Amino acid sequence: MAWYFEKQGQLLWWYRNLSRQDYRLQGWRKNGIYPDFIVSRTSPADKTDFDKVFVVESKGIHLKNDDTDYKKQVFKLCNKLAEQKSWTELGLEFPERKIVFELVFGDEWQKVLNRLLK
């Protein structure tokens, strides 16, 4: 996926999130979720700025299990809550930006990312 991100002209930046060290989501289970990537899409109005941030967790097709279902539920809740609050309301410095949480599987990640980045 990193090589894919490098070739996308509509991305301002991307970051490989380090497991157990960097950005973490805390759901209702004990251990946090460390998504694989954090990616920003350039703003149509200003190519030097971004309008969306995507938090992406990738899973191999063979890893569809209870943990995957849990992560889907957490991401669904995060997306719902992200639509209800603006970044300014959350005390963040990026007004009018959107954040999207996405779980992608090995057999469909490129199709999903193409859809997200349009």
Q: Which domain holds residue 69?
A: 2-117
pLDDT (tens digit per residue) in 23-46: 899 999 999 999 999 999 888 888
Q: What percent of the chain has pLDDT over 90?
A: 28
Which residue has better confidence, 62 or 44?
44
Residue-level pLDDT at 70? 92
Phi and psi, residue 15, nearest 5°: -140, 130
Q: Tell me how many domains the chain contains.
A: 1
b/e sequence 68-97, b meaning 16+ C-beta within 10 Å:
eeebeebbeebeeebeeeebeeeeeebeeb
pLDDT over 80 at 52, yes or no:
yes
